[in-house]
Amino acid sequence: AQVSQAEFVKSSVTTEDCPSDGLPEFALVGRSNVGKSSLVNSIVRRKKLALTSKKPGKTQCINHFRINDSWFLVDLPGYGFANAPHEVRTDWSKFTKDYFLNRSTLVSVFLLIDASIPAKKIDLEYASWLGQNQIPMTLIFTKCDKRKKKRHGGKRAEENVEDFQDLIREYFQSAPPWIMTSSVTNQGRD
Ligand code: GTP
Ligand code: MG
């Protein structure tokens, strides 16, 4: 379905603060800088609805965007942000985890994985945590447009994705559904 209407509704710092109109919602989660906010903009075909940044740690709240007046797309703070003070980091993961466990209108989670770099343990652990808590998820591989870089293992996006799939099978009986995307070329947007 086409996105015909998209509007920012609210930033919340706790699950209780989130909008209470009962619309179904889909949340984007993933490491800081993986491209969550950029993907929101790609999906809604707007350049700056969600704020993005080269520096990790841009999104610090639970941000609700209402789409077609019928569902929410939710932009969350990233995890694994190395430059934040440890206390802040713990706090973020605590409040996003509380959101996942207690947000009754949450339909599914999009777990974003950077396809331009080799698989990271923290992403596998996060996927595993969502799985253990029976939270439905789709893996969204981001930055598939990026050219391979030697310092990042020298593999193409497709190869990094294959490696990630192999590793995730150690955590899941069957690998979650997955989509390859790019917010630059809009690959995977539909
Ligand atoms: P936090 O809010 O800090 O958790 O980050 P985020 O996951 O929301 O990432 P954001 O969308 O702000 O993007 C981080 C950086 O990656 C920005 O410089 C984006 O331009 C870049 N980026 C995001 N998506 C893509 C993509 O598909 N391809 C390329 N080449 N760059 C991307
Ligand atoms: Mg963001």
Pairing relationship of beta strands 137-142 and 178-180 according to DSSP bridges: parallel
Report whether residue 80 contacts ligand 1, using a CB cutoff of 6 Å.
no
Report whether residue 142 contacts ligand 1, using a CB cutoff of 6 Å.
yes
- Span 27-33, mean pLDDT? 93
Q: Whose CA is nearest to atom 22 of ligand 1?
A: 35
What confidence tens digit (pLDDT) does each residue in 69-122 have?
999 999 998 888 766 666 555 555 677 889 999 999 999 999 999 999 999 999
Report whether residue 60 contacts ligand 1, using a CB cutoff of 6 Å.
no
Report whether residue 57 contacts ligand 1, using a CB cutoff of 6 Å.
yes
The confidence score (pLDDT) of residue 6 equals 96
Residues whose CB is less than 8 angstroms from the CB of residue 86 and which lie 6 or more positions away in sequence, other chains included = none
- Report d(CA 114, CA 42) in Å as an integer: 16
CA of 173 to the centre of ligand 2 (A): 31
Q: Give the predicted TM-score (pTM) of the model.
A: 0.92
What confidence tens digit (pLDDT) does each residue in 132-160 have?
999 999 999 999 999 877 777 788 999 99
Report whether residue 188 contacts ligand 1, using a CB cutoff of 6 Å.
no
Amino acid at the residue 137 = M
Write down the mean pLDDT value for the chain: 89
Report whether residue 184 contacts ligand 1, using a CB cutoff of 6 Å.
yes
| Angle in degrees, CA 176, 15, 53, rounded to 5 | 70
Q: Whose CA is nearest to atom 26 of ligand 1?
A: 143
CA of 147 to the centre of ligand 2 (A): 22
- Cα dist from 131 to 50, 111, 118, 183, whole Å: 27, 11, 21, 26
Report whether residue 31 contacts ligand 1, using a CB cutoff of 6 Å.
no
Structure tokens at 153: 């293992």
The confidence score (pLDDT) of residue 182 equals 97
Give the dihedral of Cα atoms 166, 57, 142, 15; nearest 10 deg.
Answer: 80
CA of 171 to the centre of ligand 1 (A): 27
